[in-house]
Amino acid sequence: MALAAFVETELNRPSRDQSRSNEGIEAGVIARTEQQLGQFRADLVHLDVRLFAPELEPKTIPTKRIRQSDGWFEQGELSRRVLDALRQAGELIGAPDVVRAVMIDKGLDSL
């Protein structure tokens, strides 16, 4: 009886070539599922907007502007240095003096 079960198991086991083709099929299914997931996420964004603001058309919402670094200062660094310069001055100072103080603090040539 045990021999018959072993033979049945061996006959139903996929060969190596079949396993490789199954892996390819599985990879395709995964790729397709990830693509569908991206579409579902995009649809969900529109759904959220319509739940909270039904009168708003999602296509009319302007895209978010992405700030590009200017190369001289990190994000938020310039405003932080300007405020520091104003605090250190202790009195009202003009824009050229603020620029000069920021450049000196940053180690740039202030002319």
pLDDT for the residue numbered 28: 80
pLDDT for the residue numbered 6: 60
Question: pTM for the full model?
Answer: 0.41
Are 75 and 67 in contact by the 8 Å Cβ rule? The answer is yes
Distance CA 85, CA 104 (A): 10
Q: What are the mean pLDDT values of the chain's consecutive 10-residue runs (111 residues total)?
A: 60 60 74 86 71 76 77 87 93 93 86 64
Distance CA 84, CA 36 (A): 50
Distance CA 58, CA 56 (A): 6
